[in-house]
């Protein structure tokens, strides 16, 4: 899943190339006074989070439980299609950065119901010169590795969801714990994660689950409790809404779109947090592009013609090193 680093982002970026195929999605020029389109950007509505605690209490296990989970997944897919489509969800242009033969456009928008005006959702858009299914498969394999988030020290599958396999290759509830820096309490997530094979989309949405109930919010002095322990008594439970979608543009070209919203609960100021999300996405996609290129140069076993295409990366267990998920990488 996509998560936020601690440090704020750099403000340096290149101006958007107006001839770029991505230029039509920008909401403004990102410099000087905001344009009319920037000022009129509407707040984004996030999809509802599923409460597994209440769901289990109301219907327990069985067909009704499975049907509710699958309906929620379909609702999440519709939300993901909307939020990763610049035509359906316009956002304010932030920057466009070109490096290592990849151009990444960054956009942001306010979030409906969030009381902090500077705490925005962020969307990153890039184009890869590799076929969409291979790009998506590589990302799914690496999603829980340190290539995506070096701060993660623990990932557990809390529950595997019966998704039917008709269009979802896997679905589960995951617990993820991050240690950002010494002397501070841990940040953790409980998320409903799944893969939509029809739209080549990875979904990760925070949820409530009885196997990992939320701890009390740390007080200031609790920030020091996590210094030597990987199981602190109090953590910062962070909400997350993340969509990673790969859109085919031709036989060997695709567009990668990442949408992310998270709130670290006062760990850093809202405005700095949005900058951190921007930087995280830029670093993430640049690094991911290099890894995808390496899979092609080394002719590694990834893509739709492999036996473990889009298989669950937490089965049989969580594997953090990149080369355990893609041998040879």
What does the pLDDT look like over 169-209, one tens digit per residue? 999 999 998 876 666 667 889 999 999 999 999 999 999 99
pLDDT at 34 (0 to 100): 42
pLDDT higher at 74 or 183: 74
pLDDT at 9 (0 to 100): 34
Question: Distance between the two ends of the chain, CA-based, in angstroms?
Answer: 20
Residue in the block written with tokens 């997350």: 240
Distant-in-sequence, close-in-space partners of 214: CB < 8 Å, separation ≥ 6: 190, 208, 237
pLDDT at 221 (0 to 100): 60
Residue 326's CB is within 10 A of a number of other CB atoms, namely 21
Asked if residue 10 is part of any domain, the answer here is: no
Mean pLDDT in residue range 292-302:
95
Of the candidate ranges 115-119, 214-218, 282-286, 315-319, the one whose mean pLDDT is the lowest? 214-218
Mean pLDDT, the chain, integer: 83
Mean pLDDT in residue range 259-279:
83
Whole-angstrom distance, CA of residue 63 vs CA of residue 224: 45
Mean pLDDT in residue range 317-321:
93
Asked if residue 232 is part of any domain, the answer here is: yes
Tens of pLDDT, residue by residue over 40-53, are 689 999 999 999 99
Of the candidate ranges 7-21, 93-107, 257-271, the one whose mean pLDDT is the lowest? 7-21
* Long-range contacts of 118-121, Cβ-Cβ distance < 8 Å, separation of 24 or more: 118/269, 118/270, 118/271, 118/274, 119/263, 119/270, 119/271, 119/273, 119/274, 120/261, 120/274, 120/277, 121/44, 121/46, 121/83, 121/241, 121/259, 121/260, 121/261
Of the candidate ranges 23-37, 69-83, 218-232, the one whose mean pLDDT is the lowest? 23-37
pLDDT at 227 (0 to 100): 55
pLDDT at 101 (0 to 100): 81
Range of the domain at 245: 44-306
Which strand (E) or helix (H) includes residue 269?
none
Asked if residue 244 is part of any domain, the answer here is: yes
Asked if residue 315 is part of any domain, the answer here is: no
Tens of pLDDT, residue by residue over 30-40, are 333 344 344 46
Asked if residue 111 is part of any domain, the answer here is: yes
**Residues composing the chain:** 329
Asked if residue 152 is part of any domain, the answer here is: yes
pLDDT higher at 101 or 45: 45
How many structural domains are present in the chain?
1
Whole-angstrom distance, CA of residue 231 vs CA of residue 163: 31
Asked if residue 23 is part of any domain, the answer here is: no
What percent of the chain stands above pLDDT 70?
A: 80
Q: What is the CATH number of the domain that holds 184?
A: 3.30.530.20
Distant-in-sequence, close-in-space partners of 108: CB < 8 Å, separation ≥ 6: 91, 92, 94, 120, 121, 122, 123, 274, 278
Q: How confident is the model at residue 244 (pLDDT cuts 50, 70, 90)?
A: very high
Asked if residue 29 is part of any domain, the answer here is: no
pTM of this structure: 0.85
């Amino acid at each position: 899943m996509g998560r936020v680093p601690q440090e704020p982002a750099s403000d340096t970026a290149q101006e958007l190339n107006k001839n770029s195929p991505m230029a039509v999605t920008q909401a403004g020029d990102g410099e000087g006074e905001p344009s009319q389109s920037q000022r009129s950007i509407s707040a984004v509505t996030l999809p509802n989070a599923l409460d597994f605690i209440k769901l289990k209490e109301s219907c327990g296990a069985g067909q009704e439980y499975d049907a509710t989970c699958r309906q929620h997944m379909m609702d999440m897919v519709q939300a993901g299609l909307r939020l990763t489509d610049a035509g359906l969800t316009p956002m304010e242009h932030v920057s466009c950065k070109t490096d290592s033969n990849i151009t990444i456009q960054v956009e942001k928008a306010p979030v409906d119901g969030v009381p902090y005006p500077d705490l925005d959702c962020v969307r990153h858009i890039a184009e890869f010169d590799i076929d969409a299914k291979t790009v998506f498969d590589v990302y799914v394999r690496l999603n829980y590795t340190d290539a995506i988030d070096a701060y993660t020290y623990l990932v557990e599958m809390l529950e595997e969801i019966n998704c039917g396999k008709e269009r979802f290759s896997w679905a589960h509830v995951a617990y993820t714990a991050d240690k950002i820096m010494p002397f501070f309490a841990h940040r953790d997530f409980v998320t409903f994660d799944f893969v939509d094979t029809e739209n080549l989309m990875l979904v990760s949405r925070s949820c409530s689950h009885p196997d990992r109930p939320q701890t009390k919010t740390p007080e200031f002095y609790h920030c020091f409790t996590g210094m030597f322990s990987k199981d602190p008594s109090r953590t910062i439970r962070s909400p997350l809404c993340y969509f990673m979608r790969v859109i085919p543009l031709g036989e060997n070209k695709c567009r990668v779109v990442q949408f992310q919203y998270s709130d670290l609960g006062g760990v850093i100021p809202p405005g700095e947090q949005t900058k951190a999300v921007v930087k995280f996405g830029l670093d993430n996609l640049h690094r991911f592009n290099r890894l995808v290129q390496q899979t092609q140069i080394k002719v590694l076993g990834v893509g739709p013609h492999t036996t473990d295409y889009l298989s669950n990366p937490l089965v049989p267990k969580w594997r953090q090193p990149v080369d355990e998920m893609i041998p040879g990488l």
